[in-house]
Structure 1
């Protein structure tokens, strides 16, 4: 015959043996003494034998009760561990995380963060790929990507981390060669654009109230 036993009744029984009295067990469990007493009676009916010897002053387990106590306590421990494992699995990150970032930014900022992240979450394996090319995150199956530049329209979720600044620089020899004295003269100066930056390729230079557009060209 299939009998469905109640873990609650096992809990009441184990608590009663550990506490020494039904009153103390009820207090620890936060329920009434009558509830504990009734559930212990039902438990003895289910197992078909007395588990406790009790009078007005004392309570102790029978021989069957002592053996049942050890098994019941073990069963409750296993049940609690099963719940804990499920909860821990949901709360603690685990698995593999694929991350990509530009080479310079990745080496100086992302790599140290990944090291701290793996120390905090040892069950997560992080694959960090440093590459200045603009990769398709979905096609390449990346989970997280760090990008520098202006965000293009995308189905991906994005969050701004910090501001950045671009500065135009030139060697003195190149500057003298092209004799750039006015913003308009800069259009003739060869321009190198990093593929690590996304978005704008047009720069606007100004001198006083005069502005000129200069289209960036990669070399």
Structure 2
């Protein structure tokens, strides 16, 4: 069989969709003769009758119905691919609505949104910060940033970075403690983040084999991470906080890392999209900038200052 010219599928599909060579020609903006010739050549190439002509309407044969169903899929996929490539080459513009948690949104996404606006002045960014899950469809959100662990596998999500969790305390509080083992942490006052699924249960790891699961002694429960940080800085107790929020404070010695030789589970930074066939350039460009920023942050080591007085395990 000779090679089939796939361009003729569009002519054939238009005839089946409209039920007429004349209406197909009108839809395609060409003459009826051209449509008829192209469909006839397609039948010759396939050595199969695809259409039955009647006085009122053109109907597909059984082979024609099968080819039409496949043709629609092929043509739509081609249109989507062309649309995606075209949009990728278009300068971002319009309004980009981004949702993010309060802490990560303030420390990372707000500066990134400012840089994005400078790079793409035709695009206006609207940043929605909330620790509650926001319905992207109802709130017309283009993309959401989720920090931590995704509990819904049906989401269309992409991991763009990660973060360490650190057990920290204010220096004036840490100096009153003598913590050198995770088991001792369970007896220390703890500021819990009520926004977490399990704010009091933490899994400590050291090397490849040592594992400890510790239940903290809550003295204060707060439902936003920035407020947990504020209470910890004020000497309220130990707390577990993400590195992107405490890195500078550790370097400035306003916070002390407790048990730095033990690690806590690493969390992820994810971009979550509403369901769509393709992403507008404003979305893909923002995600690229976020991934580049996360890559730079991942490569930066956090300096952990040791606590004075020689107390082991407190930083």
Alignment TM class, shorter chain as reference: 0.3 to 0.5
Kindly indicate which of the two structures has a greater share of residues assigned to strand.
2
For normalisation by structure 2, the TM-score amounts to: 0.33
Greater CA radius of gyration, 1 or 2? 1
